[in-house]
Amino acid sequence: MANGHPLTNVQQRDINAILHPYTPLHKLAETGPLVMGHGKGVYLYDTQGKAYIEGMSGLWCAGLGFGDEEMIEAANEQMRTLPYYHLFGGKGMEPAIELAEKLKEIAPVPISKVFYTSSGSEANDTQVKLAWYYNNALGRPEKKKIISRVKAYHGVTVMAASLTGLPGNHKGWDLPVDRVLHTDCPHHYRFSLEGESEVEFVARLAKSLKDMIEREGPETIAAFIAEPIMGAGGVIIPPSGYFAAIEPILREHDILIIADEVINGFGRTGNWWGSQSVGMTPTTISVAKQLTAAYAPLGAVLVPEDVYQAYVDHSAQLGSFGHGFTYGGHPVGCALGVKAIEIYQRRNIVEYVRGLTPTFEARLAKVKDHPLVGEVRSCGLVGAVEMVADKATKRSFDPAHGVGSNLAKFLEGHGAILRALGDTIAFCPPMIITEDELNELFNRFELALADTEAFVSKNGLRAQ
């Protein structure tokens, strides 16, 4: 049984065969999986034919929605021409070259080389290995620690999950590994002190980072990694001046600045790059997700010339650059990356996102006074509604009550999908969403919010 209904055949087959990521495994048979059949535009249809507005672009990635004919054609064409090849041992192929050229052209800082991976986690894992390789090349074998942040999300491989600053990715997994440090999360609503202004908050965080570097010894710290706007940690937008305050401290100590643009990149925040939206100036960059609009898995690391030259010198000493993935630079993924960027440029996606932003902000602002809502926040077309038990004190609900996940379930009933990050509900609709569709997504969200209020009141979940 799933929610009182017998499981359908496809649900039962799913449960019998799949180990689901990020899922309460003990409850799945009870809740039943939601098995999707097909998608078109911003809509997904489950195997029963029910339609859902996909308000999260899947996992913050399907920026062009579903069933884009140009993307399908680009994949078909590449499949026919060359379905697979690789870049090992100096081999090459046109789509990988073309996409790297494109990325160099649109990058927010001067970039010399592109290293391909299959995912965002692999990109961030690669970033760490490259930072180590770089410091070995420069004869600094002690300079190896990486500073990440509380609430960061950088993926799930052993190192990427260690960089991630969320307890659920560490507890039970023997992580984080050593050489990883976590500094403060720049979320003023949650982490500011009583009466502390944003300016004071930023100054305190910068001081805390400086203290950490001095305590650990700058000669032991290789890199600092940050999402310009944090995604899975709760869509956290740093106060203005945050990166301007911390970057000089990092540069003073020759610490590489890694931008994880895996969610932020390719127009999502109303600029090509999240870095541009928050005034971050990275040394190297990780990309994935909207790189191909999720029509194929692909990630990449972008590095500048001086950093690349150190790899060249070190590979000369060691005989080779000993790193690479079988599917890194997969020609179908790269052809889709080239096509996605061409579409973003031709349809002027950055302007389009900016055009929708006032509606997105207005609809978020409309729910701000709801008794369940503590904070709303957004940048471009990524945003969040944080629910609290007590608006005045910002007290959160007991996580065991699953208020956020209940809202997401109610919302499915109303035909829309958003992601519950604890009790924070994230919004990241396909960037091609129309204004009417965006309004419809929020209409359905408001119904789910009302259902959640009824559920909270009925069960007395506000009690301490």
# residues contacting ligand PLP (CB under 6 A)? 16
Give the whole-angstrom CA distance, residue 446 versus residue 440: 10
**Cβ-based neighbour number of residue 291 at 10 Å:** 29
**Closer to ligand PLP by Cβ: residue 410 or 427:** 427
Query: Can you tell me the distance from the alpha carbon of 64 to that of 44, in angstroms, rounded to the nearest whole number?
Result: 13
Which pair of tokens denotes residue 365?
């602002």
Q: How far is CA 152 from CA 51, 263, 390, in A?
A: 32, 12, 25
Q: Does 269 bind ligand PLP (CB under 6 A)?
A: no
> Looking at 22-30, 148-156, 359-367, 432-440, which segment touches ligand PLP (CB under 6 A)?
148-156
Per-residue binder mask for ligand PLP (CB under 6 A), 272-311, x = binder = ----------------x-----------------------
Nearer to ligand PLP, 32 or 228 (CB): 228
Closest CB to ligand PLP among residues 120, 374? 120
Closest CB to ligand PLP among 169 and 452?
Answer: 169
Distance between start and end Cα atoms, the chain: 33
Q: How far apart (Å, rounded) are the C-alpha atoms in residues 461 and 443?
A: 25
- Cβ count within 10 A of residue 52: 20
With respect to ligand PLP, which residue has the nearer C-beta, 64 or 456?
A: 64
Q: Does 150 bind ligand PLP (CB under 6 A)?
A: no
Which three-class secondary structure string do you get for 132-169?
A: HHHHHHCCCCCCCEEEEECCCCCCCCHHHHHHCCCHHH
How near is the Cβ of 153 to ligand PLP at its closest, in Å? 5
Confirm or reject binding of residue 181 to ligand PLP (CB under 6 A).
no
Instruction: Quote the least distance from Cβ 163 to ligand PLP, whole Å.
Output: 9
In whole angstroms, the minimum distance from the beta carbon of 427 to ligand PLP comes to: 15
Q: Which stretch binds ligand PLP (CB under 6 A): 28-36, 260-268, 384-392, 416-424?
A: 260-268
Query: H or E segment at 51?
Result: strand 51-54
CB-nearer residue toward ligand PLP: 60 or 410: 60
**Is 57 near ligand PLP (CB under 6 A)?**
no
Phi, psi at 96, each rounded to 5° = -65, -40
Which region among 91-99, 167-175, 226-234, 313-321 touches ligand PLP (by CB under 6 A)?
226-234
- Within 61-120, which residues bind ligand PLP (CB under 6 A)? 119-120
For position 59 contacting ligand PLP by CB under 6 A, the verdict is: yes
227 binds ligand PLP (CB under 6 A): yes
Stretch that binds ligand PLP, among 147-155, 241-249, 267-275, 363-371 (CB under 6 A): 147-155
C-beta of residue 165 within 8 angstroms of C-beta of residue 233: yes
- Measured in degrees and rounded to the nearest 5, phi and psi for residue 322 equal -85, 60
Q: Rounded to the nearest 5°, which phi and psi values hold at 63?
A: -65, -25
- Is 134 a binding residue for ligand PLP by CB under 6 A? The answer is no
Q: What CA–CA distance (Å, rounded) separates 148 from 130?
A: 16
**Minimal distance in Å, beta carbon 254 to ligand PLP?**
25
Distance of CA 152 to the CA centre of its chain: 9
Question: Mask of contacts with ligand PLP, 25-44, x by CB under 6 A?
Answer: --------------------
In whole angstroms, how close is the CB of 231 to ligand PLP at the nearest point?
4
CB neighbour burial string for 236-245, b if at least 16 within 10 angstroms, e if fewer: bbbbebbbeb
Phi first, then psi, for residue 252 (nearest 5°) are -55, -30
Q: Which is nearer to ligand PLP, 294 or 303 (CB)?
A: 294
Q: 419: which residues sit within 8 A by CB, 6+ positions away? A: 56, 408, 425, 426, 428
Cis omega (within 30 of 0) for bond into 83? no
- Shortest distance, CB of residue 299 to ligand PLP, whole angstroms? 6
- Residues 90-124 as b or e (16 or more Cβ within 10 Å = b): eeebebbeebbebbeeebbbebebbbbbbbbbbbb
Which residue's Cβ has the minimum distance to ligand PLP?
Answer: 120
Tell which positions 363-422 bind ligand PLP, by CB under 6 A.
Answer: none
CB of 107 to ligand PLP, least distance (A): 17
Q: Smallest gap, in angstroms, from Cβ of residue 228 to ligand PLP?
A: 9
Tokens of 126: 């690669």
User: In terms of CB distance, is 108 or 231 closer to ligand PLP?
Assistant: 231
Does 268 participate in binding ligand PLP (rule CB under 6 A)?
no
Strand ranges of the sheet holding 36-40, from the earlier edge strand across to the other edge = 36-40, 43-46, 51-54, 416-417
Closest contact distance (angstroms) between CB of 233 and ligand PLP is 9
Residue ranges in contact with ligand PLP by CB under 6 A: 59-60, 119-121, 124, 153-155, 227, 231-232, 260, 262-263, 288
